[in-house]
Chain A
C-alpha cells in the first residue's frame, strides 16, 4: 500500500517541483503568456500538494471486515 502511495506521491512532488521551475521560466515570457502560465502553474502546485496530504492521511477502517479477501492482508 505504501508503495502505491509513494509512487503516486513521487509524481505529485515532481509536478510541484516542475510548477516552481515553470513559475521562474514564465517570468522570461511576454506578460500575457506569463500570467496565463503562472495562474495554471500555481493551481497545479497547490492541487498536487493537497493531493499528497490527502494520500498520506489515509487510514484503513479498523474493525471493518466487510471485505473478505486474504490477499489484502499485507
Chain B
C-alpha cells in the first residue's frame, strides 16, 4: 500500500479533532453552540424588554450581564465576543451538515460574517476611542438608517432562523440525505415494541 492511499480512520481515537466534532460529537457540539446562541438571545430580548416594556433609557438598557458588568457592554466586548464565537462555530461545525441543511447553515454563516464585520467596526471604535461619521457613540454601517437596538434584533433574527432551519433539516433529513451524515443528530421515531 502506498503512502498516498486514502484510508478511513478505524476508530474515534484516530480521528482528527475536526472529524470528531463533525462526526461522533457533532450532536454535543450543536447542543453547546445552541446554548451559547440562546444566551446571546437572552441579552437582546432582555434589552428590548427593558426599553420597550419597562421604558428604561436606551443607554441604561444593557441586557442581562451588562446590568452587573456595565463595562462589558460599554467596551463592546460582550457582543463582539458572541459574534466572533458564533462565526467560528458556524465555520468549524459546517462539515457535519449536508444537502439542504448545509445550504441553510452556510446562509447563516455568511449573514453572521457581515454581522461580525459590523461588531468589529463597533469594537474598533471603542478600542481606539474614535467614532465613525462624527458620531458621539460607536456606530456601524447600517446603523446610519436603522437604530441599533432594532438593527441587532434583526441581525440576530436573520442569523438564527437559517441556523434553526439548517438544524431542522439536519435532524429531519430529506430522503437520501440521512445516509450521508456521519453524526447521530438525525431523529428517528420510537421503534415499535415487540
Contacts and interface: CB of A to CB of B under 8 A. Distances in A.
B172 interface: yes
Contact of B51 (A25, A36, A51): A25
A25 to B, nearest CB: 4
Given A40-B154, A58-B172, A61-B175, A74 B161 contact: no
Chain A's interface size range is 35 or more
Interface string B122-147: 00000000000000000000000111
Interface stretch (B6-14, B69-77, B87-95, B184-192): B184-192
Interface stretch (B41-49, B78-86, B112-120): B41-49
Contact of B178 (A24, A61, A62): A61
Central interface residue in A19, A47, A61, by most chain B CB within 10 Å: A61
Nearest to A51: B161
Contacts of A65: 188
A48 B161 contact: yes
Contact of B164 (A24, A55, A69, A71): A55
Interface in B150-194: 150-151, 153-154, 157-158, 160-161, 164-165, 168, 171-173, 175, 178-179, 181, 184, 186-191
B154 A43 contact: yes
Contact of A36 (B48, B146, B184): B146
Interface residues of B, number: 36
A59 B172 contact: yes
A27 to B, nearest CB: 11
Given A44-B157, A60-B188, A25 B52 contact: yes
A73 B187 CA distance: 8
B3 interface: no
Contacts of B49: 18, 21
B38 interface: yes
A69 B184 contact: yes
Contacts of A66: 178-179, 186
B153 A72 contact: no
A30 B147 CA distance: 11
Contacts of A21: 48-49, 52-53
Interface string A27-42: 0010001001101110
Interface of B: 38, 41, 45, 48-49, 51-53, 145-147, 150-151, 153-154, 157-158, 160-161, 164-165, 168, 171-173, 175, 178-179, 181, 184, 186-191
